[in-house]
Amino acid sequence: MQTEYDAVIVGAGGAGLYAALEASDAGRVAVISKLYPVRSHTGTAQGGIGAALGNLEEDKPEWHAFDTIKGGDYLVDQDAAAILADEAVQAVYDLENMGLPFSRTPDGRIDQRRFGGHTRNFGEAPVRRACYAADRTGHMILQTLYQQCIKNDVEFLAEFHAVDLIMDGPACRGLVVLELRTGELHTIRSKAVMLATGGFGRMFKTTSNAYANTGDGLALALRRGVPLEDMEFYQFHPTGIAGLGILITEAVRGEGGILRNRQGERFMEEYAPKLLDLAPRDLISKAILSELKRGNGMRGDRQIDDYVLLDATKLGKEVVEEKIPDIADFCRTYLGIDPAVQPIPVQPTAHYGMGGIPTDLHGRVHRGGGEGSYLGLYAAGECACVSVHGANRLGTNSLVDLVVFGRRAGRHIADFIANADLGRVASGSDSYARDKVARLKSGKGAHGGKIRETLQKTMMEQVGVIREGSEMRAAIATIEGIRDDYREARVQDPDASFNTDLLELLELENLLDLAYVTAHAALRREESRGGHTRSDFPERDDGRWLRHSLVRLADGKPEFSDKSVDTSLFAPKPRVY
């Protein structure tokens, strides 16, 4: 097996593939993916990618940037948001030129639809900004970029799981990977390594995220001393299928779907009189919980697992089948209903981590504390924090983030590898990974299943949509307990080949570490902002908290510092919709 590359990209989602495509112009590039590449989670993205093309009505990148900043409750770095909105337009046309089959207007232009929090003229009314390919936008992006990577001779190491980064002071020299087919560990040397490993929704019980979304890249970085940014901000999407968490895209509301409580009332009239059902996700999730608390959920029992209805019956069969065909299929398969005829039972579902590995505008990973960036270490996509989503991401802005900042990182990597040498990798660089695997195979304690269950329940109930100090302290104590249990956890399956038991235990450690710093960061931030709502600190507090948090693990314990927010374009204001 080839073990030396100019650049290695960990992750074959939209961010990783775009970076690989750009970097492959300058050298030998490999993409490592624990999944078969086109099964990456980007493929599940449904509703659209935001770009101010103005194809159906006037739109401008400045308005997109403003919506992104306001949507993120002013914790967004505004220089990054301006780049996101500006470069989104060309990025969408570039994808179109690569062959991405966008849905079209009758006169052949890329069609656009409304999405939550996207407005014209700085908040006046919803605007059609989301470019889409029915409700398979992410799938089309993934296939298009994968084909381009193949054309550009990018190499794919599919079903290889990254276990550790090889750091030499502030420089990254490569990584250690587990080959799933053989169970062997390999050391790979590379001038540059980019982490594009996606999200970590699996730390919560009810989630829209796939089993593979265990935050591996963030946890690998965290354990090698890299600080993580804004981990307290986790988004709950308002419309997961009740009891299952499977996502019902915001595009349903973009096309005219309405949320109703048990009295049949359009309750968003009370919470967001102007944008109604197209208000940002944090506001709608909170509104749903508030309705449940009042006894207005469909069961009316005031429990957080009660639900409301998403009524798409006014759309008509034709629109449903043409614009949201996969959603219609999900409803038939999982609920046995036709959404054109019957409303969909929904409740908030854990969806997206706004925080992550801190990067600059070229994907270089920050060291924190004003120490500049690591050499040869990059991150982009959901695992990174540049930060364009601040305290709450707007719908369609993740796909934009992937293509804009994935591409920027790829271009920087291309320049970097053209002038860098392969660094030396000291012998024994794989000892941490080897010891870890050996320890798990000789563990004497329980299997990981129980630990995972406790973790997901604790995070859902005590570090979920509405948070409170004493509950989070209890959650931290529970997580400390199960982190101790994990030290004795054991692999039951003795096989070397495709040992998913081992894989799940490696992933579980990542979830445990990330949940631990998430709960600590949430407890530390004594205010409510975007996706972080504290019942004991209900107001936003710009005086104390208009700043990013950075957390490291020092001897296994969290250590915090802060980072300023770029507010160079729009002064923070109260957030009203």
Q: Which residue is nearest to ligand FAD (CB)?
A: 13
SS3 percent helix, strand, coil of the chain, rounded to 5, is 40, 25, 40
When binding is defined by CB under 6 A, the residue of 5, 26, 29, 40 that contacts ligand FAD is 40
Name every residue whose Cβ is closer than 8 Å to that of residue 360 and which is 6 or more positions away in sequence. Answer: 366, 373, 386
> Is 168 in contact with 44 (CB distance < 8 Å)?
no
Whether 201 contacts 237, CB under 8 Å: no
| Short-list 104, 64, 58, CA closest to 81 | 64
Task: Name 258's Cβ contacts closer than 8 Å, sequence gap at least 6.
Answer: 266, 277, 310, 311, 314
Quick one: 200 or 416, whose CB is closer to ligand FAD? 200
When the beta carbons of 312 and 476 are compared against ligand FAD, the nearer one is 312
CA distance 270 to 288: 11
Q: Please state the closest distance from residue 177 (CB atom) to ligand FAD, in A.
A: 7
User: Can you give the C-alpha Rg of the chain in angstroms?
Assistant: 22
Cα angle 434, 435, 437 (rounded to 5 degrees) comes to: 65
Binders in 86-145 for ligand FAD, by CB under 6 A: 137-138
Question: Could you say whether residue 11 binds ligand FAD (CB under 6 A)?
Answer: yes
Q: Is 48 in the site for ligand FAD (CB under 6 A)?
A: yes
Pick the stretch among 8-16, 453-461, 543-551, 554-562 that binds ligand FAD (CB under 6 A): 8-16
Going by their DSSP bridges, the two strands 557-563 and 548-554 should be labelled as antiparallel
Q: Which of 462, 238, 213, 466 is nearest to 349 (CA)?
A: 238
- Shortest approach of ligand FAD to residue 64 CB, angstroms? 13
Residue 51 or 523 having the CB closest to ligand FAD: 51
Residue 292 to residue 433: CA distance in whole angstroms: 46
Task: Pick the piece of the chain touching ligand FAD (CB under 6 A) from 44-52, 100-108, 339-347, 437-445.
Answer: 44-52
Stretch that binds ligand FAD, among 192-200, 259-267, 276-284, 481-489 (CB under 6 A): 192-200
- The catalytic site residues sit at 281
Nearer to ligand FAD, 117 or 138 (CB): 138
AA letter at 496:
A
Please tell me whether residue 363 binds ligand FAD under the rule CB under 6 A: no
* One of 247, 365, 391, 475 touching ligand FAD (CB under 6 A): 247
Given 21, 30, 42, 65, the residue binding ligand FAD (CB under 6 A): 42
**Structure-token match 């854990």, residue found:** 350
C-beta of 103 vs 208, nearer to ligand FAD: 208
Binding-site size for ligand FAD (CB under 6 A) equals: 44
Contact between 44 and ligand FAD per CB under 6 A? yes
Tokens at 169, concatenated: 């002071």
CB-based contact 390:203 (threshold 8 Å): no
To ligand FAD, the closest distance from the beta carbon of 407 in angstroms equals 12
Report if residue 47 touches ligand FAD, rule: CB under 6 A: yes
Which of 27, 72, 117, 198 touches ligand FAD by CB under 6 A? 198
CA 409 vs CA 16, 143, 379, 444, 493: distances in Å: 9, 20, 8, 43, 39
Let me know if 130 is exposed, middle or buried by CB neighbors in 10 A (0-12, 13-18, 19+).
buried
Q: Least CB distance from residue 480 to ligand FAD, whole Å?
A: 24
Least distance in angstroms from the C-beta of 574 to ligand FAD: 26
- Which of 398/456 has CB closer to ligand FAD? 398
Beta-carbon contacts of residue 419 (< 8 Å; ≥ 6 apart) = none
User: Can you tell me which of 26, 35, 388, 476 binds ligand FAD, judged by CB under 6 A?
Assistant: 35
Q: What's the min distance (Å) between Cβ of 509 and ligand FAD?
A: 11
Cite the DSSP H helix spans in 345-447: 397-419, 431-441
Which H helix or E strand runs over 513?
helix 500-524
Shortest Cβ distance from residue 510 to ligand FAD (Å)? 8
Nearer to ligand FAD, 476 or 489 (CB): 489
Binding site for ligand FAD (CB under 6 A): 10-16, 32-35, 40-42, 44-49, 137-138, 161-162, 196-199, 208-209, 212, 216, 247, 249, 352, 381-383, 395-399, 402
